[in-house]
Amino acid sequence: MDPDKKKYIIDEISAQEAWRLFRILAEFVEGFDTLANIGPAVTFFGSARATEKEQEYTDARSLAAKLAKDGCAIITGGGPGVMEAANRGAQDGGGLSVGLNIELPFEQRPNVYIDKLVGFRYFFVRKVMFVKYSVAFVILPGGFGTMDELFEALTLIQTRKIKPFPVYLLGKSYWGGLVDWLEEVMVKEGKISAEELDILHVVDDQQEIVEGIRAVRKAMGY
């Protein structure tokens, strides 16, 4: 390759990477600026495919309303399904409804029940916001994305990269098999300790989540 052409290509790549770094930094700044004063917040995860007729939609809306009435902001990924239900519940309960939307190859439009909306291009920046501003995670039935958020939170807590906070799995019939496998395979084979599973709370009773998060907030001074 011609040396001048090679240098031109290298310079172009360097310039593109520099602009990418600026975009990443800008997303962090916008997220921190928008969410700095939202108060204690609970993040909801779950299927974007859930419809208004499905139980997880009803559960997310109901629980989010209870938490909002109790003084919590509600954060979601800003899209449809469980995210829409939780944002809707936040408004039902008179609380702050936050959506952290992500740009996807197939367009994900923000739902209409959001008071504060932040758009992200990079998943990892968005994940930082979920963790930084939450006192708890509530996870309803979902797919790969939901599993990704669940296990990333567990890993960060396990490795003490973040302060521990409760992770609630709402719906024993959906999550019970996963937790059984964690106990019967991962714990028994020594891949994780039994104590590390204490991070997870598998529940059906929404009031148990409300009271648990209330206790966490009290301990944190909220």
**Which residue range is the domain that position 187 belongs to?**
3-220
Question: What is the domain-level CATH number for residue 49?
Answer: 3.40.50.450
Contact 44, 12 (CB under 8 A): no
- 98 forms beta bridges with 75, 116
Q: What is the pLDDT along the chain (222 residues), one digit of tens a residue?
A: 555 444 444 445 566 777 888 888 888 998 899 999 999 999 999 999 999 999 999 999 999 999 999 999 999 999 999 999 999 999 999 999 999 998 776 656 899 999 999 989 888 899 999 999 999 999 999 999 999 999 999 999 999 888 889 999 999 999 999 999 999 999 999 999 999 888 899 999 999 999 999 999 999 888
- Total domain count for the chain? 1
In this prediction the pTM is 0.89
